[in-house]
Structure 1
Amino acid sequence: MTSVPVFANAKARGIVPEWSRLGYGNFALASSPLATQAAGGPADVVMLLGARVGMFTGTGPRSFIPPGAKVIQVDIEPEEIGRSRDVDVALAGDVRDTLRVMMDRARGRTFPDHAAWLDGLEQSKKMLRAMNDQPASRETPIHQSRVAREIADALAGDGIIVADGGETSIWMAEQAIVLNAGDWLSHGYLGCLGVGIPFAIAAKVAHPDRRVIAILGDGSAGLNIAEFDTAVRHKIPIVVVVNNDQGWGMIRHGQRTRYGSDRVVGAELGATRYDLVAEGFGAHAEFVTTASEIGPAIKRALASGKTACINVITDPDQPHMTSVAMAKGSLPEGEVELPYYGKKKLVPTA
């Protein structure tokens, strides 16, 4: 009715199908320079529908909401409205009921033409997904976006994707196209790692007729690896893909950017055979070291009808741009930045 695009956080992807012109699974696209240029400027009104204010919706430097935009906040909990930022219009109520009232009031009205903005957003969405196509085409070392693309293409919008890990979840979020609410499960930006296998098990139990693929970082895999036993014992046929870059990627790449390649501490892991671990629990197992084998391995795992683990050895030296961007910036003399924990003053020792 209004041609207003909808941007979703990790909990709401698929509420509006992402193959449609109005559905966007990455709300960072709202501040895309290409889209802003096409629209003739940034968004002037942003409506938060049941979305709690946080790092990307507050007032800080990472917020996608333009500083000059009017903000409408709809939430069923009145105390949440305006709790972390000032809002211009506060609507306390259930999102569904509120939208129904808005739709009723909108009928017969004329709304601005958003075609130019939507064109820019559509191009931004395509560019984000295709940004790493060239390095992803190589056979080895396997680029992480290739793994994510193979998973997205294998499901083709018909199945549930679970993403667990730091950089791993971001690689997957860029490639996934989510068509239905509940078809994307992840830990959100707070990064509560280790949820991948439990989420996948729960999704398959709730929807036994749906295909479920979970992608885990190798660090995340280690947190709940024994849940393969749970899935095997209860005959729950989920497919788990391990993005094995042999380290805590987001931490490692942040340290390399900030301190130098020779100062990585506590972020390296081995080329662990998670496939053999899963096989020991009775799962179908695949070990992949070349890119062209990812797709066939996924097909075999889905066809096995069993709990399955696909251990993919990926490039340990391929950072996601997010990790690099968060670690950049100059620091005053006598200060050090600990990734995710902020700036700390150096205390001289005797």
Structure 2
Amino acid sequence: MFDTFTKASFTIERTEDIPEGLEQAFMMALCGRPGPVFVELPFDVLFNVVDPPEILPKVEVVPQPPDVSAVQAMFDLLRNAEKPLLIAGTQVYWDQAHDALRELTEQTGIPVYTNGAGRGTLPMDHPNCFKLTRSQALRQADVALLIGTPLDFRLKYGRQDWNPDSKLIQIENDVNELNHNREAEVAIVADSRLVLEALAEGLQGIHYNAWLDEVRDMEDEKRSRQAEWEALDDAPINHFRFGAEVNRVIDEEMIVIGDGGDIVSASAKVIAVTRPGQWLDPGPLGCLGVGIPFAIAAQHLYPDKKVLVINGDGSFGLNGFEFDTAVRFNLPIVSIVGNDAGWGQIRGPQIQMVGEERAIATGLAPTRYDKIV
């Protein structure tokens, strides 16, 4: 059963094999695309008595260097590009490639959009980091460099609303993620830090300043329109005003966890994440209910940091009572619930298509979640 949603699943059948088995599990979990490994320890194996085992060294994953010919092909595409852009996804965070990313964009002026846990690998207040105009920029980009970012519905599968003449460079840590939905001109498995460092070395003297200014103008225009929503005093407040008020209290020592649909999507357009690992969310498939469990883990791992969860009211209903766990372990996490009494991301389209009277199972009570906790 566990094989379907883990990288590996196995049983350790002898007590003396536990150290080697766990070493193998950690190696499998951390190599390539990091992910869960399930290890079963039967009751008799776990409670058996054996001689003290040898203490094994910490598992260290060796970064995979990029193929030289692939790097040369990237050089050729980017040296001839006029309007390239870079989308930095979760792999940039895992590979600790944030310094290399910053060096490349500051050296060349390539515009950067961040995605998933890649948010914060380039600070969102950096002048070369953008978040409101990705689709608009992709319509014009002649080269798109994707790092750890799948060509899924968020990027319209690399086909719809892209420049039809654009070239694609894809860097991944899992070979199974390459060339999905679109064939890339360059597609390699490699450590993103080593790739970015190689690009900075090979693109010396290359600058995209005119294109960077154009993207910045597009971003400024969109931001000014969004700022009007952020300033509205309507009651109840809109999602963008909510995000703007939350953004006022966020600093570099706060970990922010998004757990919801509309409220997280809108807040992500407003909140400026500035540090790697500062933002966590349910991922592209919307695995709601992760907020409080994520927060418990984050606060336990970083006791000196502040941990904030942005909850939708629907998602809070899934695991909100894990606040009991937080209280029992003295973990001072905070949750702000965007309470619009509905599964908004589903309810809105339902009402548009069939009317409010026929919207099914998407309405919630205007519950005082602060009083429940």
TM-score normalized with structure 2 length: 0.66
Q: Would you say 1:248 and 2:352 are equivalent positions?
A: no
CA contact (8 A) 2:300 2:331 kept: yes
Q: Which has the higher contact order (CA 8 A, sep 6+)?
A: 1
Give 1:158 deviation, angstroms: 4.3
Q: Would you say 1:31 and 2:135 are equivalent positions?
A: yes
Matches of 1:163 and 1:102 in 2, distance apart?
A: 33
Q: Would you say 1:192 and 2:287 are equivalent positions?
A: yes
Within 5 A, what are the aligned runs for 1:255-266? 255-266=350-361
Q: Which residue of 2 aligns with 1:178?
A: 273
Q: Which residue of 2 aligns with 1:52?
A: 150
Within 5 A, what are the aligned runs for 1:109-124? 109-113=205-209, 114-124=211-221
Q: Which residue of 2 aligns with 1:16?
A: 122
Q: What is the count of residue pairs matched by the alignment? A: 266
Within 5 A, what are the aligned runs for 1:6-155? 6-24=112-130, 26=131, 29-32=133-136, 42-59=140-157, 65-107=162-204, 109-113=205-209, 114-124=211-221, 126-127=223-224, 129-134=226-231, 136-138=232-234, 140-155=235-250
Q: Which residue of 2 aligns with 1:320?
A: none
2:328 aligned to which of 228, 233, 241 = 233
Matches of 1:76 and 1:247 in 2, distance apart?
A: 38
Structure 2: unaligned runs, 5 residues or longer: 1-106
Q: 1:169 to 1:223 in 2, by over 3 A?
A: same
Matches of 2:122 and 2:241 in 1, distance apart?
A: 25
CA contact (8 A) 1:149 1:175 kept: yes
Letter matched to residue 31 of structure 1: S
Give 1:261 deviation, angstroms: 2.2
The structure that is helix-richer by fraction is 2
Give 1:183 deviation, angstroms: 0.8
Q: 1:58 to 1:174 in 2, by over 3 A?
A: closer
Matches of 1:69 and 1:133 in 2, distance apart?
A: 35
Give 1:157 deviation, angstroms: 4.8
Q: 1:216 to 1:137 in 2, by over 3 A?
A: same
Give 1:87 deviation, angstroms: 0.7
CA contact (8 A) 1:59 1:67 kept: no
Give 1:129 deviation, angstroms: 4.2
Matches of 1:110 and 1:249 in 2, distance apart?
A: 45
Task: Give SS of 2:276's match.
Answer: coil
Task: Give SS of 1:102's match.
Answer: helix
Give 1:49 deviation, angstroms: 0.9
Task: Give SS of 2:280's match.
Answer: strand
1:215 aligned to which of 306, 310, 331 = 310
Matches of 2:308 and 2:226 in 1, distance apart?
A: 19
TM-score normalized with structure 1 length: 0.70
1:269-311: CA deviations, max 9, x gaps?
1111211211xxxxxxxxxxxxxxxxxxxxxxxxxxxxxxxxx
CA contact (8 A) 1:168 1:216 kept: yes
1:4-44: CA deviations, max 9, x gaps?
111111221011011011123x3x62223xx68xxxx7111
Give 1:141 deviation, angstroms: 2.0
Q: Percent identity?
A: 35
Task: Give SS of 1:225's match.
Answer: helix
The structure number with the bigger radius of gyration is: 2
Task: Give SS of 2:170's match.
Answer: strand
Structure 1: unaligned runs, 5 residues or longer: 279-350
Matches of 2:306 and 2:263 in 1, distance apart?
A: 20
Q: 1:254 to 1:58 in 2, by over 3 A?
A: closer
CA contact (8 A) 1:58 1:84 kept: no
Task: Give SS of 2:249's match.
Answer: helix
Give 1:67 deviation, angstroms: 3.0
Matches of 2:326 and 2:258 in 1, distance apart?
A: 17
Matches of 2:135 and 2:180 in 1, distance apart?
A: 23
CA contact (8 A) 2:230 2:244 kept: no
Q: Which runs of 4+ in 1 moved over 4 A?
A: none
Letter matched to residue 168 of structure 2: V
Q: 1:209 to 1:148 in 2, by over 3 A?
A: same
Matches of 1:12 and 1:254 in 2, distance apart?
A: 29
Q: Which residue of 2 aligns with 1:203?
A: 298
Give 1:47 deviation, angstroms: 0.4
CA contact (8 A) 2:158 2:181 kept: no
Matches of 1:221 and 1:168 in 2, distance apart?
A: 12
Task: Give SS of 2:117's match.
Answer: coil
Task: Give SS of 1:191's match.
Answer: coil
Matches of 1:254 and 1:130 in 2, distance apart?
A: 25
